[in-house]
Amino acid sequence: MMPADLLTYAKPIPVSSSSTPAAGRARSSGGPPRTLAALTPGERGVVSGFSDRDRPNPISSRMMEMGLTVGATVEVAHEAPFGGALAVRCRGTLLAVRIADARVVELERASAGRAP
């Protein structure tokens, strides 16, 4: 039997649409997404730069080694449940990118449809 004080910590999982990972990353109703993390599955954009160049160990160098370079077209193919990672198509390769790393990749423009 469980003590009563342990039961007070259990909370139900929220079911509103604003609590889903994709809704938390969704863009505002304005312009195109500015980072790779803001794209939803099926959207694409062109890499314009990286926002972590001033940090001690930038993740941007690893992103560039994987093929995410300035001018590359990227498309979000899938997203993991609960905000885990994105499957990103770039230069004919499907890459797994953490959401935290995707926030570093800045995009020039985005549109719906498949990446070439």
* Cα three-residue angle 52-116-87, rounded to 5 degrees: 50
User: Would you state the pLDDT for residue 23?
Assistant: 43
**Residues 6+ away with beta carbon under 8 Å from 14:** none
Kindly report the number of other CB atoms within 10 A of residue 45's CB atom: 25
State the pTM of this model: 0.65
Task: Give the closest residue to 103 by CA, choosing from 65, 71, 66, 58.
Answer: 58
Q: How confident is the model at residue 29 (pLDDT cuts 50, 70, 90)?
A: very low
Indicate which CATH number applies to the domain containing 14: 2.30.30.90
* Cα three-residue angle 22-55-73, rounded to 5 degrees: 45
Task: Give the domain extent around 97.
Answer: 4-112
* pLDDT tens string 34-78: 899 999 999 999 999 888 867 777 788 888 899 999 999 999 999
- In this predicted model, which residue has the larger pLDDT, 62 or 4? 62
How many domains, in total, are found in the chain?
A: 1
Distance CA 90, CA 105 (A): 13
